[in-house]
Amino acid sequence: MLDNLSSGFERNLNPKALFFKTDLCDPGLDEVFHDFKPEAVNHHAAQTSVVRSVREPAYDAKVNIMGSLNLIQKSIKHGVRKFVYACTGGALYGEPKYLPADEKHPIDPSSPYGLSKHMVEHYLNLYGENEGLNWVSLRYANVYGSRQNPKGEAGVVAIFALQMLQGKPCTIFGKGDKTRDYVHISDIVRLNLLAMDNPGKTHYNAGSGLETTDQEMFDTLAELLGYDEKAIYGPVRKGEVYRICLSSAKAQEELGWRPEVRLKEGLQKTVGFYRELAKGSP
């Protein structure tokens, strides 16, 4: 396990895991590969906020492009047999021309975050052709579940849940009709395991194919948590798409994967974690 813990917590680590606290851009990453000798790399480290990418595009590119390139090069140097990359589907396609968007949909990101995440797919394809790197890119919809950091700028389920439990106001950016496609973390874990055994050099959407509005998400969480306050409505944030949902037909056909956790069920599983977090006992 490699992480700089800029947005995560050491308490979430498996105590049996070998942990290296370091950054993707660290030149010392070579020593980690030399000592650990990984057979496979599962790359989820990233700057994940669309809003921050608009505000700090150079930082976004440094982490998401240069950091990923450093990791890819070290993987090739040390003979990694499989490279699984966590990309984005929600920010990759821009404002969709049709829904649900599949992997053939034109790629036209509307934020530096979407652009930087997609650029890594080009590097993977290049090194797959030139160096034989076996890679798979997973284009995620909005992933939610226990342990998601509620204090960042991304992850509306975590943010709303904790704010509601603490009796704080919740802000919806826009009129509440913006849509997202939500997938529970347990389904994403299962997809990653399947991707490890895939022949590789391809990409898959990971979504439910269903749109959920911001207002619907707020109302559902409010009902589950007994929150009686009304939402506050703020201006739409730059770089965010208005509507999105993803077709996972390719993943179903080639990997036998489809999301199994329905949204209401997944939210019920998730709010229990944030109840404990609100008590100060994560």
pTM for the model stands at: 0.94
Q: Domain coordinates of the chain in residue numbers?
A: 2-278
pLDDT of residue 108: 97
Residue 242 catalytic? no
- Class of 2-278 in CATH: alpha beta
Query: What is the number of other CB atoms lying within 10 angstroms of the CB of residue 20?
Result: 17
pLDDT of residue 169: 97
Spans in the chain with pLDDT lower than 50: 281-282
8 A C-beta contact, residue 93 and residue 107 = yes
**DSSP letter string, 143-188:** EE-TT--TTSSS-HHHHHHHHHHTT---EEESSS--EE-EEEHHHH
pLDDT of residue 153: 66
φ, ψ for residue 42, nearest 5 deg:
-115, 105
Helix (H) or strand (E) holding 9: none
pLDDT of residue 282: 45
φ, ψ for residue 176, nearest 5 deg:
95, 0
Task: Specify the pairing of strand 179-180 against strand 212-213.
Answer: antiparallel
Point out the catalytic residue in the list 113, 144, 182, 274.
Answer: 113
Tokens of 131: 């160096």
pLDDT of residue 27: 83
User: Which residue from 254, 279, 260 is spatially nearest to 203, judged by alpha carbons?
Assistant: 254
Distance of alpha carbon 133 from alpha carbon 164, whole angstroms: 45
Check the CA dihedral 170-173-178-179 and report its sign. negative
Residue 68 per-residue DSSP state: H
Which residue is associated with the tokens 């969480």? 221
Q: Name residues whose C-beta falls within 8 Å of residue 192's C-beta, 6 or more positions apart in sequence.
A: 42, 84, 138
pLDDT of residue 281: 47
Distance of alpha carbon 75 from alpha carbon 32, whole angstroms: 11
Give the rounded distance of the alpha carbon of 19 from its chain centre: 21
pLDDT of residue 84: 98
